[in-house]
Structure 1
Amino acid sequence: MKTAASYPVSGRGPADHEVRDQIVAAATEHFSRYGYEKTTVSDLAKAIGFSKAYIYKFFESKQAIGEMICANCLHQIETDVRAAVEQAGLPPEKLRRMFKVSTEASLRLFFRDRKLYDIAASAATEHWQSVQAYEARVQKLLQDVLQEGRQSGEFERKTPLDETATAIYLVMRPYLNPLLLQYSLDTTDVAPTQLANLVLRSLSP
């Protein structure tokens, strides 16, 4: 399965440019030391050795840089989840893997790599475009798995598909959203399996 939409990038400068990549890499490193909220574009310019005006040729704001970093992180999570789903056989197993791998990948990026948490938290709090697009793709992937399960006779067909996908996403959301996940860290070992099993029982025809 391919991603349903491209990840948003700043509208300034060429989309594929080594300077853009250099700015993002340097910003990621700088944010890891000083935090996203405390860092200004002027701070980044000094750290990279570029002028502030030159950075603005590629990114319209600090948030635009954060959006790119956030999009890269979400792309890693989505790549892991889609690979796990593709490797699974039947729709119930695909759904179980979505729960499990989504949680594991989110933990790995947002908490074990703590430098990304500030950016992820800002993205979730302020509803950045990269987050909204990611959530929409997760729900679309859920719909695809549900549709496959309905066609094979393994899932019920009475509930509207979009309603079912949204409900399941809301069950998953505490383990995907970094602001919510921080309050669920003590249940991440068992909760994804338990919740997936509960959802699968509700989907029985």
Structure 2
Amino acid sequence: MPPHHPGEERTDTRARILEVAERLFRHYGYDKTTVADMARELGMSPANVYRFFASKLEIVEAIAVRMFEERHRHNLAIMAAPGTPSERLRRLLVENHRLSVETLTADRKVHDMVEVAMTQQWPAIETHLAQVADVIEELIRQGEAGGEFAVADTRRAAVCARQCFVSMMHPTLIVHCADDRERADAEELADFIIRALRHP
């Protein structure tokens, strides 16, 4: 049996803590779950949990990072998929809305957890937003090269497109805008953005 290195053991323990924490957050909610609850479920002391994470907020941040990394992998797969740049951009926007609805608002307890992450203004949030803009920018660049899009600055166009679509991806805005009788749906807004990119 190969030796178990301390670094690997630490990584495994961190992963276990995050898995248990996310399960408890989903079941009981962020506010009602304590580090002591996590420790009890893991069969360790709260002090041992604090060896890996300084606070419950830090645990939520790490869970958010995992969620954002998974979303980025999904977006990269869309970017690399077959289809024209405009088709893939439309799919990217609509899919991100669908995933946000499914993972953030279908389960209120998950929404509350992500709400904490969004209000903390952690670097992970900035990284996630930049990654979304990166993928949009690359699709705009490909569209420009093929004559589909005409923009003066691909980065600013990407940021504007992301910002126009934010009400379809931000968990709080999705909830708050749900009852707006004149709200555009994801497909309509995605088509609007793509049309805008086709005109200088």
Q: TM-score range by the shorter chain?
A: 0.7 to 0.9
Percent of residue pairs identical: 28
Quick one: distance in 2 between partners of 1:154 and 1:203?
8
Give the structure 2 partner of residue 125 of structure 1: 119
Quick one: distance in 1 between partners of 2:68 and 2:178?
19
Which is further off, 81-90 or 160-169?
A: 81-90
Give the structure 2 partner of residue 137 of structure 1: 131
Quick one: distance in 2 between partners of 1:16 and 1:92?
44
Structure 1 counterpart of 2:61, from 54, 58, 67: 67
Greater per-residue helix proportion: 2
Quick one: distance in 2 between partners of 1:149 and 1:16?
45
Question: Per the alignment, do residues 16 and 103 of structure 1 end up closer, same or farther by CA in structure 2, a change over 3 Å counting?
Answer: farther
Report deviation, 1:81: 2.6
Give the structure 1 partner of residue 32 of structure 2: 38
Aligned-partner residue type, residue 104 of structure 1: R
Give the structure 2 partner of residue 98 of structure 1: 92
Give the structure 2 partner of residue 176 of structure 1: 169
Structure 1 counterpart of 2:187, from 177, 186, 193: 193
Question: Per the alignment, do residues 104 and 36 of structure 1 end up closer, same or farther by CA in structure 2, a change over 3 Å counting?
Answer: same
Instruction: Confirm or deny: 8 A CA contact 2:30 2:113 kept in the other structure.
Output: yes
Quick one: distance in 2 between partners of 1:186 and 1:45?
40
Give the structure 2 partner of residue 162 of structure 1: 155
Give the structure 2 partner of residue 82 of structure 1: 76
Report deviation, 1:136: 0.8
What SS class does the counterpart of residue 24 from structure 1 fall into? helix
**What TM-score comes out, normalization by structure 2 length?**
0.85
C-alpha RMSD of the superposition = 2.3
Question: Per the alignment, do residues 137 and 37 of structure 1 end up closer, same or farther by CA in structure 2, a change over 3 Å counting?
Answer: same
Give the structure 1 partner of residue 3 of structure 2: none
Unaligned runs of 5+ in 2: 1-6
Quick one: distance in 2 between partners of 1:16 and 1:90?
44
Give the structure 2 partner of residue 49 of structure 1: 43
Quick one: distance in 1 between partners of 2:67 and 2:58?
14
Aligned-partner residue type, residue 178 of structure 1: P
Q: Aligned residues, how many? A: 191
Quick one: distance in 2 between partners of 1:15 and 1:149?
46
Report deviation, 1:137: 0.3
Instruction: Confirm or deny: 8 A CA contact 1:81 1:97 kept in the other structure.
Output: no
**What TM-score comes out, normalization by structure 1 length?**
0.83
